[in-house]
Amino acid sequence: MSAPNSNHLLLVGDKSTFAIESGITHAYERLSFRALGFFVLHIGSHSYGVREPDATMLACSFDEVKDRIAQRATHIAPFANVGDAGKIADAYRDAIYAPNQENEQFFGIPCSEFSALIYSNHLKWAPDGDEAFDDSSYVLQFDIEDQVRLIAFKSTTDGYHHVPQTLRDVWLSADDFYGVLEKWAAAFEASWKTLPKQPK
């Protein structure tokens, strides 16, 4: 597989806090594919996602960013201010993936309601529906007044909880966060438009 075109590698933001990195290897006419390449999130100087030239089709990642921009200030939850990010990460994994959780509560919320809140308020950013985050990465987003909180981690391979050394808990202004999303989306679409398209 050929490497991503060096003219169509993007890095928007600051890796030490929050940045989006992507690369296009092949562009496609079909919008449900958009392009082949990679999409990586940098949060607190740690990367989440597979940085390989053929990691994923990029339509899901692009559409998810656009959706998050459109849904600004709606990614809310009553537990968003809980100080221990690891507890939030593990509650998410338990509620969504672990068996026999029907009678459990997370932050005082019954499992079924907790899971429904994750989906209805789009608290999970990654995985985003394709193979971009097949490295067991997860990213949760919370809008908290004029700030955004990102909790990112990788899961264990033999259980449901997070790997402690991969956990990052970053707070930044909503303007800065959504500004990165808007700049990346515009730059990615502009790059895609300039590339010759392959039918598929």
Cα separations (Å) of 189 from 8, 24, 65, 192?
A: 10, 11, 12, 5
What confidence tens digit (pLDDT) does each residue in 11-42 have? 999 999 999 999 999 999 999 999 999 999 99
Cα separations (Å) of 72 from 12, 149, 182, 192?
A: 19, 13, 11, 25
Which segments of the chain does DSSP mark as H helices, in order? Answer: 59-70, 85-97, 111-120, 174-194
User: Residue 184: what residue type?
Assistant: W
Cα separation, 156 vs 172, in Å, equals 27
Cα separation, 185 vs 102, in Å, equals 39
What confidence tens digit (pLDDT) does each residue in 152-197 have? 999 987 788 999 999 999 999 999 999 999 999 999 999 999 999 8
